[in-house]
Homo-oligomer: A and B are copies of this chain.
């Protein structure tokens, strides 16, 4: 294992200390609980937006805390759910008196721990709590850590759009409904060129031959649909797009938001090249317009090489909320 770290058991807390030091204008970190909260807390009367999950997907989730996205996030060990107390602490950190939306990716461990946290919160007479679960990955129905589809790239889009809706004053039910709608309008699929290595394990999660890729990879290295020979970027883009477009039942003339996401180890020069392929296929073959796009490392798998494509069926309201100001370490514009 070749990584820039000290003690594999302290990667998450030492990284969060760096995040806190790098962004004192945006956020504060409770290193004991490993909970990140918006600097100054949630504005009274604003719906809080919270997320949490295993670490190793940076900037997700802690890097999306700030203005116009998350109010708090809790961070588990690498690829491991936070414990219930962390979700409880994140809830309280984000509670501005108007209720809190919890955005969760559909993984069994995350959901179990979050549900225990919600029981604790209800016992504390906290009722204004809504849950949005993302499950946008079309690659496989069930997976190593999942009943049903996995939650991947749509999580970034849900966090951005619900964050914008909360910032402009929508109430708890409306924020949660928007989050569920954004998830329902989104589909993703990813590809791995290499594995990644969890620091506490010290060895690669899986192995791929030098001329082999894994189509439909999960963000923890879970198996996808199939292994295939290394192929031109155009063919990889087509292989990722086909099931996404079909599952979404996209029709000619529709518009989408595209997230072309890097898995962590693939350089930007390749990600922009892949975006060019994705956009060309959408335009020329599918008759689908790209209304907005995001190209870069947004939901990663440590140093895995590869990428994923997420499409969100757009409308004017989604584009308006997308364009709303956001100021977080991982996503920032207009503020």
Which residues of A pack against B, CB within 8 Å?
A: 2-7, 11-12, 14-19, 21-22, 55-56, 58-59, 63, 78, 193-194, 210-211, 213, 230, 232-234, 236, 260, 264-277, 279, 290, 293-295, 297, 300, 302-303, 305-307, 327, 332-335
Across the interface, do A268 and B21 meet the contact criterion of CB distance under 8 Å?
A: no
Could you write out 10 A-B pairs with CB less than 8 Å apart?
A: A4-B266, A4-B271, A4-B274, A5-B273, A11-B273, A58-B268, A63-B268, A268-B297, A268-B300, A269-B302
Given contacts A233-B6, A307-B4, A18 and B194 within 8 Å (CB-CB): no
| A321 → chain B closest CB, angstroms | 17
Interface residue SS majority, chain A = mixed
Q: Are B273 and A4 in contact (CB under 8 A)?
A: yes
| Chain B residues with CB under 8 A of A265 | 265, 267, 303, 305
Return A310 CB to nearest CB of chain B, in Å.
14
Knowing A2-B194, A58-B267, A303-B266, the reply to whether A272 touches B19 (Cβ < 8 A) is yes
* A22 and B333 contacting across the interface, CB-CB below 8 Å: no
A303-B17 in contact (CB<8A): no
CB <8 Å contact, B59 and A2:
no
The chain B residue sitting closest to A304, CB to CB, is B267
Beyond A267-B265, A335-B334, whether A305 also contacts B272 by CB under 8 A is no
CB-based contact B15/A270 at 8 Å = yes
Please pick, from B193, B210, B303, the residue contacting A4 in the complex, using a CB distance under 8 A: B193
In the assembled complex, the Cα of A59 lies from the Cα of B63 at a distance in Å of: 19
In the complex the two chains form, what is the Cα distance from A82 to B297 in whole Å?
A: 27
- Option from B55, B233, B269, B303 in Cβ contact (under 8 Å) with A305: B303
- Shortest beta-carbon distance, A298 to chain B, in Å? 10
